[in-house]
Chain A
Amino acid sequence: MKGYTGKLLRVNLSDGKISKEEISESMQRDFLGGRGFAVKLLWDEVKRVDPLSERNKIVFSTGPLSGQLLPSSGKMVVASKSPLTGGYGDGNIGTMASVHLRKAGYDVLIVEGKSENPCYLLIEDEKINILDASELWGKNTFESQDLLEKRHGKNSGILLIGPSGENLIRISTVLSQRGRAGGRPGMGAVMGSKNLKAIVIRGTGTISNFDDEKLKEYAKKAYEEIKGKEAYPFWMRQGTMQVFEWCNENHCLPTYNFREGVFEFSKEMDGYVLERMAVDRKGCPMCNMQCGHIVKDIKGERAELDYENVGMLGPNLGMKTLAEVALLNRMADEWGLDTISLGSCMGFLMEASEKGLIPEKIGWGDFDRAQRLIQEIGRGEGIGALVTEGVKSASEKIGKDSHRWAMHVKGLEISAYNCHGCPGMALSYGTSPIGASHKDAWVIAWEVSTDRFSYSMEKVEKIVEFQRIRGGFFESASVCRLPWVEVNFGLDWYPKFLEAITGHKRDWEELYQIGDRIYTFIRAFWKREIPSFGRAWDYPPPRWFEEAPSQGKLKGIKVDKEKYDQMLSWYYEIRGWDQNGIPSKETLHRLGLSEVTKEISL
């Protein structure tokens, strides 16, 4: 199909074998790209393996819109069987590697096996080399990026891991371009387990589209439309950091390990503080609404901030200034730790310390201790070793009811929205296909704009709609969703882009069905990999059901478990899954996934 290179590059690090394979037209049609390709490949090739063994594989996958001259298209999905959750894991990273992979002639890169020694992969169009990385091993992601750029050119697409990924810390992610990250559910540890420090890509070709002239015309108008939006100038000043004030106002800021929803130091680290501190802005390739704001941290180093990082490393830990948070964020990026899971793990340890469940004294807002803690977590040493497999595992180790405030779903730490008073967002986390990620259905704004405390079918339908668009289309196309929601860029553009690229007209109904297929397929993957998987995995932590915040307007408010249960049942009905959350035979058949049936014992 036009708009795809139609090629998958496979590299086996155990025997050095390199192959180039066709991606079938039916795969392009049924799974679109990105996350869709990733789940299909992982289903076919990764069955009941240890995620950190050489039998696991890691997929770097683009879609037909990736790397095109289109708004915010420099995106790529990084997916694998997750060492953090044991289920399907992926993340979305904005990187020049996306553009270069496509220009080099591949839609997908899949890496398998394990190198005997630290290595990195160099892809230059047809030429593929596995090179020695002993000089890079142990270096942080900024130093490694510098070194690789010096060797292979500043414009190269580079994906890499930090020391935490090398140390197989399961909350490690993949980084690019000094601060861009993707692959929250331990994708960095998967690379580390393969002794794969980095991937460098230099592509010189072009993508063959159905109608390049039409695409250019659309692109010009689309970029102009984005720049002309009323929300654009403010977005350029604060980016996602405007969410900080929004969340504090709506009492859903993660504060003191999600105990509270408002923060007494919020005015020290909101978007207006960022505006005063910002020295630079950074974005992904092809983006004209860059979201990365660079500030100088407390030591004068550059740190790229966005809302999730600040929410989880700021109020969630009781830090008092943005400059402190910036340093913690910079350290997380250097080590290659996912900032969301890291913030949750540190908050968990602070609360455990406060409750006397661990001997170490780690106080809320203790900035010096927090810095040392990041190093301990990155190395897997000291008290840091307790959380190297995430808060779910940590709570199982220390017991004493700590699972009630271990803030995760399916083993993936909850991102920066506290949901005591947002049952819809709680369900969105509960049903996100990788664990508690916000990227699939950020229903919280819609929820706050309606009756936020209600438990309605309408709310559940909205969650499914958002999952179809965000987790289905955007993750598979693969382009950034932010132009759509942040500045109101029209969704009706995307079928037009697809038609100009591929020559095939596809409306949103059809795209929704692709999203449904992907969600159901991911669900089946979890079931195959974890036989006990089912309904019990779709609940947020007891804290949201049992404890109400003590501060602010939501004092006394918590999620009603019975009513949550009802919404979860409705969710399964809409999805065509049984009441244990397992896709029915009929649903699998309807979505063209009959092959899956026998593997999950239906």
Chain B
Amino acid sequence: MVEIKFLGYLTDLAGTRKKEVFIESPRPLREILPPSFPEKNLIILIDGKPGDLETLVSPGQSVILMPILSGG
């Protein structure tokens, strides 16, 4: 199982704030995200470390996807 958390407008694209995806072996992050997910202006943290859409995600890891924001 991989836990994926979405922040900001990415929740609209994912249709949820959090979901769990079942995988048996490591897979590129892109393959477990909803189709047509944005390629740019994303912050991707896998177990707290920066990654990208090609980073391999293993069962038991947690992923956070955040937009790049500007702040007040």
Assess the B68–A445 pair: CB atoms within 8 A: yes
Q: Does A570 contact B (CB under 8 A)?
A: no
Known: A234-B12, A451-B50. A481 touches B70 (CB 8 A): yes
Chain B contact residue count (CB 8 A cutoff):
23
Interface size class of A (residues with CB under 8 A): 35 or more
Q: Does B43 contact A (CB under 8 A)?
A: yes
Assess the B66–A233 pair: CB atoms within 8 A: no
Cα distance, A291 to B42, chains bound together (Å): 21
Residue among A444, A448, A449, A484 having the largest count of chain B Cβ atoms under 10 Å: A449
Partner-contacting stretch, out of A18-26, A105-113, A238-246: A238-246
Assess the A249–B7 pair: CB atoms within 8 A: yes
Known: A240-B71, A442-B70. A230 touches B43 (CB 8 A): no
Assess the B69–A243 pair: CB atoms within 8 A: yes
Neighbouring B residues of A245 by C-beta, 8 Å: 7-8
In the complex, what's the smallest C-beta–C-beta distance from A465 to chain B, in angstroms? 14
Neighbouring A residues of B45 by C-beta, 8 Å: 448
In the complex, what's the smallest C-beta–C-beta distance from A254 to chain B, in angstroms? 12
Q: Does A532 contact B (CB under 8 A)?
A: no
Neighbouring B residues of A417 by C-beta, 8 Å: 71
Known: A307-B71, A481-B70. A233 touches B12 (CB 8 A): yes
Neighbouring A residues of B43 by C-beta, 8 Å: 445, 448-449
Assess the B7–A240 pair: CB atoms within 8 A: no
* Residues from 424 to 450 in A contacting B, C-beta threshold 8 Å: 438, 442, 444-446, 448-450
Cα distance, A238 to B67, chains bound together (Å): 14
* Residues from 179 to 221 in A contacting B, C-beta threshold 8 Å: none
Known: A417-B71, A445-B43. A230 touches B7 (CB 8 A): no
Q: Does B55 contact A (CB under 8 A)?
A: no
Cα distance, A438 to B72, chains bound together (Å): 8
In the complex, what's the smallest C-beta–C-beta distance from A326 to chain B, in angstroms? 16
Known: A234-B8, A242-B7. A444 touches B71 (CB 8 A): yes
Known: A234-B9, A450-B50. A243 touches B64 (CB 8 A): no
* Residues from 18 to 72 in B contacting A, C-beta threshold 8 Å: 38, 41-45, 48, 50, 64, 66-72
Cα distance, A486 to B70, chains bound together (Å): 6
User: Which of A234, A240, A484, A488 contacts B72, CB < 8 Å?
Assistant: A240
Known: A445-B43, A450-B50, A553-B48. A234 touches B71 (CB 8 A): no
In the complex, what's the smallest C-beta–C-beta distance from A206 to chain B, in angstroms? 31
Cα distance, A452 to B49, chains bound together (Å): 9
Assess the A306–B72 pair: CB atoms within 8 A: yes
User: Which of B9, B69, B72 contacts A445, CB < 8 Å?
Assistant: B69
In the complex, what's the smallest C-beta–C-beta distance from A535 to chain B, in angstroms? 27
Cα distance, A481 to B71, chains bound together (Å): 10
Neighbouring B residues of A231 by C-beta, 8 Å: 8-9, 67
Q: Does B13 contact A (CB under 8 A)?
A: yes
Cα distance, A450 to B69, chains bound together (Å): 14
Known: A234-B12, A450-B50. A486 touches B69 (CB 8 A): yes
Cα distance, A416 to B69, chains bound together (Å): 14
In the complex, what's the smallest C-beta–C-beta distance from A579 to chain B, in angstroms? 31
Cα distance, A484 to B69, chains bound together (Å): 10
Assess the B69–A242 pair: CB atoms within 8 A: yes
User: Which of B41, B44, B71 contacts A442, CB < 8 Å?
Assistant: B71
Q: Nearest chain-A residue to B49 (Cβ)?
A: A451
Neighbouring B residues of A455 by C-beta, 8 Å: none
Q: Does A122 contact B (CB under 8 A)?
A: no
Q: Does B11 contact A (CB under 8 A)?
A: yes
User: Which of B7, B9, B71 contacts A235, CB < 8 Å?
Assistant: B9
Cα distance, A72 to B42, chains bound together (Å): 24
Q: Does A602 contact B (CB under 8 A)?
A: no
Assess the B11–A234 pair: CB atoms within 8 A: yes
In the complex, what's the smallest C-beta–C-beta distance from A552 to chain B, in angstroms? 11
In the complex, what's the smallest C-beta–C-beta distance from A409 to chain B, in angstroms? 17
Assess the B68–A446 pair: CB atoms within 8 A: yes
Neighbouring A residues of B12 by C-beta, 8 Å: 230, 233-234
Q: Does A308 contact B (CB under 8 A)?
A: yes
Neighbouring A residues of B68 by C-beta, 8 Å: 445-446, 449, 485
Q: List 3 tightest A-B contacts by C-beta distance, closest first.
A: A485-B70, A234-B9, A308-B72
List 30 A–B pairs whose Cβ atoms lie within 8 Å, in order of A's numbering.
A230-B12, A230-B38, A231-B9, A231-B67, A233-B12, A234-B8, A234-B12, A235-B9, A240-B69, A240-B71, A242-B7, A242-B69, A245-B7, A246-B8, A246-B66, A249-B7, A249-B64, A249-B66, A250-B66, A308-B71, A309-B72, A445-B71, A448-B43, A448-B50, A448-B66, A449-B43, A449-B44, A449-B50, A451-B50, A485-B68
Residues of B with Cβ closer than 8 Å to A? 5, 7-9, 11-13, 38, 41-45, 48, 50, 64, 66-72
In the complex, given contacts A232-B9, A309-B72, A484-B70, what are 18 additional A-B residue pairs having Cβ atoms less than 8 angstroms apart? A230-B13, A230-B38, A234-B11, A242-B8, A243-B69, A243-B72, A245-B7, A246-B66, A249-B5, A249-B64, A291-B72, A308-B71, A445-B68, A445-B69, A448-B45, A449-B42, A449-B44, A488-B41
